[in-house]
Amino acid sequence: LQVEDYIRKKFAEYYMRNSYRIKPPPQMEKREYGFILFKEKMMIRHKSFGNVEELKSFIENVAPSDAYHSAAYYLKPEEDMEKKGWLGADLIFDLDADHIETPCKKQHDKWVCENCGTSGKGQAPENCPACQQMKIKEEAWLCEQCLEKAKDETIKLIDMLISDFGLAQNQMSIHFSGHRGYHLHVRSEEVIGLSESERREIVDYILGTGLDPVFHGLLVKKGKTESLTGPELTDPGWRGRLARGVYEILTKAEEIELMKFGLTKSAARKIVEKRDELTVNWLKKIEWGSLSGVGFKAWRKIAEKAVTNKSARIDTVVTTDIHRLIRLTETLNGKTGLRVLEVKDKNLEAFDPFKEALAFEGEETIYIKEAPQFRLGEETYGPYQKQKKELPAAAALLLICKGKAVPVNE
């Protein structure tokens, strides 16, 4: 509890100086707001604010651990859910390392079963493998590789929204979540009225769920001799995406990876040997039928892998839930002490969350139980093991919020 009081005090100081930064969503008076308080991690929601000044002074006074607003617009946002009068909702996408597979999670993520104490490394299972209970406590670290992967997924999503859905860049805003990922908000008239099932269809499209390559041009033509045809790199929508995904696999994969698609060793070797030629020629036209020993079954497997690679790993629930609360821009994330930020000029490629999202200034002395190596700004810290240390406040707060360190009273 002492640690919580300490973090709350720091958050309060931050908001006293920086609440001017808080950026409410458009039509802020039609939104529901929710907050997680430091005290017992209690959630308060169904709040509404008529203007930005009211919102700022509420946050200054309460200094919440986390602050959210609804993706939805309501007639009466402060009423109970059934009386709110839903008017529509922004289309929201969540791209978070929690839902994206990264190899580094095995090194930096941990979980413990609060029922029986079984623990493990990597992504937490839903049920405890020992006692089957669902009381798993996760200890997820925010790491650069994970955030880079989340960024890549966001870039793929933006490409799909623009080239397949016809949305414009200026109809979306990209936000760093303050922890392990990015949020994308689409606020255009075309999407605001979409129902849950309509949003579900968009999710399925973006994930490539149930996409059958046969319906996207991969065909065996029966004639005197069997011939195989498929989509071209420049085809629109999933056809071209599928072709580009296949091209990337065949021009990059090692022999052993190709064999996983059911190719024989000699067929896989031939592809690797012909690689330079294939890389150049297939840019002009994919010769689907030209690879000996690659039958329709193998093609199908390769195409399915291409779909997985080219899809954007969005969180299904966040997009389909039309009553969802999403983090408020320029508030602090209680898991890290980092700022929730809008990515400026939509230049995601150049965005560095470990530099731009820092909130705290000055120095703090802390006792670090255990922490992996991490970077903030230009500086690399750790790894640490059972030591007292004076660190820049942003680094100190990150470790304290993550439960890896405690403040030292001097």
- Give the residue numbers marked as catalytic: 94, 96, 315
If you search the block for the tokens 């064999």, which residue do you land on?
259
Q: Which residues are 47's β-sheet partners?
A: 33
Name which of 147 and 393 has its Cβ closer to Zn ion.
147
Closest distance of CB 288 from Zn ion, Å: 37
**128 binding Zn ion? (CB under 5 A):** yes
- DSSP class per residue in 361-376: -SEEEEEEEEE--EEE
Tell me the site size for Zn ion, rule CB under 5 A.
Answer: 12
**Residue 399 near residue 368, CB atoms below 8 Å:** yes
Candidate ranges 124-132, 346-354, 385-393, 400-408; the one touching Zn ion (CB under 5 A): 124-132
Name which of 9 and 135 has its Cβ closer to Zn ion.
135
State the Cα–Cα distance between residues 19 and 57, nearest whole angstrom: 8
Determine how β-strand 338-339 pairs with β-strand 332-333.
antiparallel
Name which of 42 and 131 has its Cβ closer to Zn ion.
131
Closest distance of CB 351 from Zn ion, Å: 17
A 10 A CB-CB count for 320 gives 19
Residue type, 122: G
How many degrees, rounded to 5, is the angle at CA 49 between CA 43 and CA 52? 115
**Residue 119 near residue 113, CB atoms below 8 Å:** yes
State the Cα–Cα distance between residues 397 and 8, nearest whole angstrom: 11
Closest distance of CB 205 from Zn ion, Å: 28
Closest distance of CB 96 from Zn ion, Å: 12
Identify which of 353, 49, 311 has the alpha carbon closest to the alpha carbon of residue 174: 353
Which sign does the torsion angle of CA 92, 93, 97, 100 carry? positive
Strands of the sheet containing 110-113, edge to edge, are 119-121, 110-113, 136-139
Q: Which two tokens stand for residue 123?
A: 């992504």
Closest distance of CB 378 from Zn ion, Å: 20
Name which of 230 and 353 has its Cβ closer to Zn ion.
353
Name which of 18 and 145 has its Cβ closer to Zn ion.
145
Q: Which residues ranging from 50 to 109 are in contact with Zn ion (CB under 5 A)?
A: 102, 104
Binding mask 129-158 for Zn ion (x = CB under 5 A): -xx-----------x-xx------------
Name which of 55 and 95 has its Cβ closer to Zn ion.
95
**Residue 402 near residue 143, CB atoms below 8 Å:** no
What values do phi and psi take at 199, rounded to 5? -65, -35
Closest distance of CB 115 from Zn ion, Å: 4
Q: Which residues ranging from 102 to 121 are in contact with Zn ion (CB under 5 A)?
A: 102, 104, 113, 115-116, 118
Closest distance of CB 116 from Zn ion, Å: 3
Chain centroid, CA 392 distance in Å: 27
Closest distance of CB 399 from Zn ion, Å: 17
Strands of the sheet containing 363-371, edge to edge, are 384-392, 363-371, 405-407
State the Cα–Cα distance between residues 89 and 194, nearest whole angstrom: 8
Contacts of 215 (CB under 8 A, 6+ apart): none
Name which of 128 and 206 has its Cβ closer to Zn ion.
128
Identify which of 397, 404, 407, 408 has the alpha carbon closest to the alpha carbon of residue 334: 397
Name which of 146 and 194 has its Cβ closer to Zn ion.
146
Binding residues (CB under 5 A) for Zn ion: these are 102, 104, 113, 115-116, 118, 128, 130-131, 143, 145-146
